[in-house]
Amino acid sequence: MPINITMPALSPTMEEGNLAKWLVKEGDQVSAGDVIAEIETDKATMEVEAVDEGTVGKIVVPAGTAGVKVNELIAVLLEDGEDASAIDTSGGSAPAEKSGGDKVPAVPESSSAIEVGAKAATDPVPAPKNADGDRIFSSPLARRLAKLNGLDLKALSGSGPHGRIVKRDIEEALAAGTGKAAPAAAEAPKAAAAASAPAAGPSADQVLKLFDKDSYELVPHDGMRKTIAKRLTESKQTIPHFYVSVDCELDALLALRTQLNDAAAKDKEGKPAYKLSVNDMTIKALALALRDVPNANVSWTDENMVMHKHADVGVAVSIPGGLITPIIRRAEEKPLSVISNEMKDYGKRAKERKLKPEEYQGGTTAVSNMGMMGVKNFSAVVNPPHATILAVGAGEKRPVVKNGELAVATVMSVTLSTDHRCVDGALGAELLAAFKGYIENPMSMLV
């Protein structure tokens, strides 16, 4: 029977995407792992790989369609020996609705020979979530087969692209007799969920009635802006923020940066192998500080304190319509030159919306640097699951007292925002003291 291809969830926060381009056409043969489409999410443009093999029987959602909901039918794949007449558009589950308003008939998936006497269900199986609420990535066919055969996807490992659970993983679990589902727990009352949900913002009518009709124009929110609004609202409503600030002298760091950049090897065209920025050295200093103060390199859960073994530092990058936070993994272990080149690559691809989810999801802390915009100091919002974020201001000439005498130094103000549930004031101060030590004694970052 035909196999549904649905809009995948390419990130835990994705609710809809734009189908930018089809890389296959009806009648093409595809195999598991083949790139079949490009999807624009709220953060990036992603390539989508097939998780089953067959022939593209019908493309339901055309290229260029915006606002396609996750799990909405976008195409139908035919198995060997089938033709387009096998696509049943007369029955099955309720039709999915395209962004343009037309009704798209749902098509039953292949039931597979491994269904052990179970009746084929036509209702789509929702994507399951693990104990932390994160979506378990799996193909629609794998979810359906797991449901029919009583398997728990949380107990299985995926062999598909990016760890996605596919049909062969279900077959192997059935053959080995593993992955049986535990009895389902009762659902939490909807009232409790509604009570814990963030408060909605004002309606358009409430806002617009305050202004003259000729004094404004309406610009619809895109997916990125909606995601930013949702996550920051949840952060400020659910995380008790605490702030610690300190001033750091930059003169020694600026001098060392100049020496290191002058010493960079050059290629045949005279292009240096790296060009360090103050931001690159800030990333390294924060990573080393977290290594030295491991109790601050944590994430909060209701059951446990997550103690991270490495400092994965996210760096806020401004892009049209919002921002994105690519992550320098294991930054405490990387030379400054590597951090610098990674950031230049991430920054370029972020503006082109070409980052992969694994390049901007996760992390253990973050840096938000507005110094290049002339901002003296500010406080950033913690981005869960992080427990800290460092807001970096501009380096500027200020009067300071040294050895009892007035002098002039280049000073940078930084503010650490913390999740007070796991990083309290004393621990935040200890982390900032370690950070300040690396900034003001930058040679220590090279050993």
- Is CATH 3.30.1490.20 correct for 225-446? no
CATH level 3 topology of 3-176:
OB fold (Dihydrolipoamide Acetyltransferase, E2P) (2.40.50)
Average pLDDT, the chain: 82
Least confident segment among 33-37, 160-164, 223-227, 339-343: 160-164
pLDDT tens per residue across span 52-79: 888 888 899 999 888 888 888 898 888 7
pLDDT tens per residue across span 248-274: 999 999 999 999 999 999 998 999 999
DSSP classification of residue 325: -
Residue 401's pLDDT is 93
Checking if the pLDDT of 374 tops 80, the result is yes
Residue 6's pLDDT is 87
What's the maximum distance between 2 C-alpha atoms anywhere in the chain? 89
Cβ-contact 290, 431 below 8 angstroms: yes
Q: What helix, strand, coil percent values describe the chain, rounded to 5?
A: 30, 25, 45
Taken in order 87, 93, 95, 98, is the CA torsion positive or negative? negative
Domain ranges of the chain: 3-176, 225-446
| 162 is annotated as an active-site residue | no
pLDDT tens per residue across span 145-189: 787 778 888 888 887 766 778 777 888 888 777 766 654 444 444
Out of 162, 241, 308, 420, pick the active-site residue.
Answer: 420
Question: Which range in 15-29, 224-238, 299-313 is most confidently predicted, on average pLDDT?
Answer: 299-313
pTM over 0.75: no
Residues 6+ apart with CB under 8 A from 10: 17, 39, 41, 46, 48, 357
Structure tokens at 323: 């921002």
Please, which pLDDT band fits residue 194 given cuts at 50, 70 and 90?
very low
Least confident segment among 3-12, 116-125, 216-225, 388-397: 116-125
Q: What percent of the chain has pLDDT over 90?
A: 45
Residues 6+ apart with CB under 8 A from 4: 73, 76, 77, 106, 107, 108, 109, 124, 140, 141
Cβ-contact 364, 299 below 8 angstroms: yes
